[in-house]
Chain A
Amino acid sequence: MFKLRFCFEKNGTSAYISHLDLMKALQRSFVRAGIPVKYSQGFNPHIEMSIVVPLSTGYETRCDLCDLDLVCDDMPENFVEDLNAVMPRGMKVLHAGAADRPVREIAYSAYEIVLPAGDALAMKALFDGPVTLEKRSKRGRRDVNLQDYIKELTFANEGDKTLCRCILAAGNDPLNPMYLTQALKNTGLVEEDATAKYIRTGILDENCEIFWKK
């Protein structure tokens, strides 16, 4: 058996494929590409795989990771090319290799948030102090201080957009970047009905280094 990990992009229309649907879409891609995937034993055999850090529906990613068990002993030749030939539009495998680093070492996700043009300085200033918001998770709702989840944060005006680049907690208690937009909307720095675009740009370890590279 070979434990494979690959890094992929999800752009354009494919950003709207939800986490559960993405599992299915990838599994079908593996079958189309003839990848020697490993099936689970049991009544309903399924392909052994996992998407390492789930992503919200509608968000793009330049760097998501998928772990996959193969029945072969080594990395299949042309894995990246074969899979890219059969992926849904907007999805692309960037590189693949052995899943040699444990997922628990993931600590942060980096995001870009594309906002309508606004006051970048005021936006930055908002997060210099405590920002309390109700955070929803599987375990329920609770008030949190967003500062506790933000590792790095910058705002810059670019053309008719304001670009927010941030590094946020991942792992057991992650922060969805939409809470930053929500905080900006609550204080009127972004209009209530404005549309924001979210792009995951990195999955990082404790030292804010790229968690996994081939």
Chain B
Amino acid sequence: MNDTIRACLEHVRKPARYTGGEYNAVYKDKSQVDLRFAFCFPDLYEIGMSHLGSKILYGLLNSMEGVWCERAYAPFLDMEEQMRKRGQPLYALESGDPVGEFDILGFTLQYEMNYTGVLNMLDLAGVPKRAADRKELKPLVIAGGPCVYNAEPMADFFDLITIGEGEEVMPELMNLYRACRDAGESKAEFLKKAAQIGGVYVPSLYEITYKEDGTVAAITPRDGAPAVVRKRVVKDLDKAYYPEKFVVPSTDIVFDRAMIELFRGCRRGCRFCQAGYTYRPIRARQPETLKKQAEALIANTGWDEVSLTSLSSSDYPHLETLCEGLVAKFEPMHVNLALPSMRADSFNLDLAQNIQKVRKSGLTFAPEAGTQRLRDVINKNLQEEDLLEACKLAFAAGYNGVKLYFMMGLPTETDEDLLGISKIVRNVQRTFREYAKNKARGLRINVGISIFVPKAQTPFQWLGQISAEEAARRKEVLMESLNIKGVTYSIHEYKTSFLEAVLARGDRRLSAVLERAWQLGCRLDGWEENFNFDAWMQAFSDTGVDPAFYANRELAPDEVMAWDHISSGVTKCYLYSELEQARKGIATPDCKAGCRNCGALSLTGGKCDV
């Protein structure tokens, strides 16, 4: 850490976010390193350090001889101000060296509202933002993460984007980079070769043409790039790389705990959920593997909590065996288990109590919609009786708090559906009055309501988001009905969800908007206090782009989508058939009832651990 960084730190809040030096941070001898990689997370340290994928790739890249992967996060406004004032470029936490001097900058795209964070970090690094303005192989700016299933709004900024899971493709890319660099090949030559690696998308090798009405006319690959880039998946998670050590932060982060990953994919098929489609097919880890990984992590980190992560943890077939084993091992060590992502219809009280022997946490369920009709439309196969039954068991066992998550603005939603939310809330209250072990303590209900954002590569990708006026009206309906004693609720800001919707189904013409928004001061847009909607609207108007075209428009069934050249394995045809079922209000049974041939099996040659 140099004197300039030290001077910056004197004037900022939570300086430990900017120092590195945490336990298990990897330090290498620069003379033994020939490839320096900056893992860039375009949000604050406390968010980025909580992200499992980053930990996997950090460990994986650093396990490669000669590769040194370091971390960089978006600085908060006070730190950015200090850095700019003192001429301190964005630096990697471990070495303190400017990331602009690295071979590769790898960004993870977790959330659309982080996009301006990428631009700001590139600017702070002194690296030209547009790929076309970076003529040399070094630095290469790449991306990965869940947003890549449509990262077209960011296409102009990245040299390449990896689609899908990184465990296999990252080492392949590093090796290709090295070979091309050592052979003195140009950036263009490297990119052409990279596009031949499965799961590697080189945006500059695709020409997009548009029709007069603004829709996409055609996506044309060149130089041998594949017409469709299919995502990469790891076939056998038991054999896949998993770190035995995580960097242990020396300051508070959001998820300050060890994590094991039970399985990837989800068999439920909720039609609004992008992860539910893009992480298919299901691949599970064996409980023995998971137990070993958890034990190694706790021994190497000293954390007092292990989180069992997945998209729907109660669907893990060996959950009880695994939890029994982990509790037996960890309870005497004062290590707690956290089991997020439990479904109300497979809620297991014994399990919930068993894992909470060390410490007790609250209950969280996500019915998502207020009526059975609408839950059938979105394919959230959860019955209200199941939810109330889970609450009954929990209340009888002494729980007195529950969080319920819903969405508003879902396709076909009526006021009756909205009012259904308060009905569920009242039924939960009634269940508490009837069954609570200790009624005197009272029940706390927390209702969180977000606004539906249609996402690419889901059955709802064709649909538009509700308008601002309609969102405001529905919010009124909700607010009136949720004014219930003992209930607190929060409803997401429409403006943020609107922008998410613009970017989620956006195309390359939004690159100019993003750049303009950044120039107008937009960054850390995911943080409400920094979000400047007026500046965004100014950016749309300055660039002549109509945001409603992207957010609110329903796409024609045969329309070319801006992301048609990216495939999660699930076919467009399957997605459309699910949309038609939704329109008819017919739910699709989960994959356990039989394979629906969504297409994802082709990625693993027929393996799916439903």
Contacts and interface: CB of A to CB of B under 8 A. Distances in A.
A78 B303 CA distance: 22
Contacts of A120: none
Given A30-B302, A45-B334, A58-B9, A21 B16 contact: yes
Interface stretch (B139-147, B201-209, B245-253, B495-503): B245-253
Contact of B23 (A16, A45, A86, A195): A86
B340 to A, nearest CB: 20
Nearest to A47: B334
A39 B332 CA distance: 11
A32 B301 contact: yes
Nearest to B20: A13
A197 B358 CA distance: 43
A149 B373 CA distance: 73
Interface string B1-40: 1010011011000111011111101010000000000000
A147 interface: no
B414 to A, nearest CB: 45
A44 B333 CA distance: 13
B16 A17 contact: yes
Given A21-B250, A21-B251, A90-B21, A58 B299 contact: no
B302 A32 contact: yes
A32 B16 contact: no
Contact of B302 (A45, A58, A86): A86
A89 B21 contact: yes
A45 B6 CA distance: 37
A144 interface: no
A89 B251 CA distance: 14
B359 A88 contact: no
A31 interface: yes
Interface residues of A, number: 28
Interface in B264-313: 299-304
A29 B358 CA distance: 20
Contacts of B15: 16, 57-58
A28 B252 CA distance: 13
B21 A31 contact: no
B302 A27 contact: yes
Contacts of A25: 23, 248, 250
A29 B251 CA distance: 14
Given A12-B21, A90-B21, A195-B7, A17 B302 contact: no
Given A17-B250, A18-B16, A88-B23, A32 B300 contact: yes
A9 B410 CA distance: 57
Nearest to B256: A24
B302 A13 contact: no
A183 interface: no
Contacts of B19: 13-14, 16
B80 to A, nearest CB: 18
A87 B21 contact: no
Contacts of B7: 195
Interface residues of B, number: 31
B16 A87 contact: no
A14 B250 contact: yes
A168 B589 CA distance: 72
Given A28-B302, A32-B301, A39-B334, A16 B252 contact: no
Contacts, number: 76
Nearest to A87: B23
B16 A31 contact: no
Contact of A31 (B10, B22, B304): B304
Given A28-B23, A45-B334, A88-B23, A195 B16 contact: no
B158 to A, nearest CB: 31
A57 B10 CA distance: 9
A88 B247 CA distance: 10
Interface in A43-92: 43-45, 57-58, 86-90
B1 A88 contact: no
A31 B231 CA distance: 40
Nearest to A195: B7
Q: Report which residue of A30, A43, A86, A87 has the largest number of chain B beta carbons within 10 angstroms of its beta carbon.
A: A86
A89 B96 CA distance: 14
Contact of B251 (A17, A87, A195): A17
Interface string B230-260: 0000000000000000001011100000000
A197 B300 CA distance: 33
B305 to A, nearest CB: 11
Contacts of A86: 23, 302
Interface string B390-415: 00000000000000000000000000
A45 B331 CA distance: 12
A13 B299 CA distance: 24
Contacts of B22: 88-89
B9 A16 contact: yes
Contacts of A197: 6
B481 to A, nearest CB: 36
A44 to B, nearest CB: 6
B301 A28 contact: yes
Nearest to A20: B252
Nearest to B93: A13
Contacts of B25: 89
A177 to B, nearest CB: 14
B205 to A, nearest CB: 42
A29 B304 CA distance: 12
A28 B21 contact: no
B300 A88 contact: no
Contacts of A28: 23, 248, 301-303
A12 B9 contact: no
A52 to B, nearest CB: 20
A89 B16 CA distance: 12
Interface of A: 12-14, 16-18, 21-22, 25, 27-32, 39, 43-45, 57-58, 86-90, 195, 197
| A-B interface, 6 closest residue pairs, ranked by CB to CB distance from nearest | A13-B21, A28-B302, A89-B21, A31-B302, A13-B19, A32-B302
Given A13-B21, A16-B19, 11 more contacts: A12-B1, A13-B19, A13-B20, A18-B16, A18-B251, A25-B248, A28-B303, A31-B304, A31-B333, A89-B22, A195-B3
25 contacts: A12-B1, A13-B19, A13-B21, A16-B15, A16-B16, A16-B250, A17-B250, A18-B14, A18-B16, A22-B250, A25-B23, A25-B250, A28-B302, A29-B302, A31-B304, A31-B333, A32-B23, A32-B301, A32-B302, A45-B358, A57-B16, A86-B302, A88-B21, A88-B22, A195-B6
Interface of B: 1, 3, 6-7, 9-10, 14-16, 18-23, 25, 27, 248, 250-252, 299-304, 333-334, 358-359
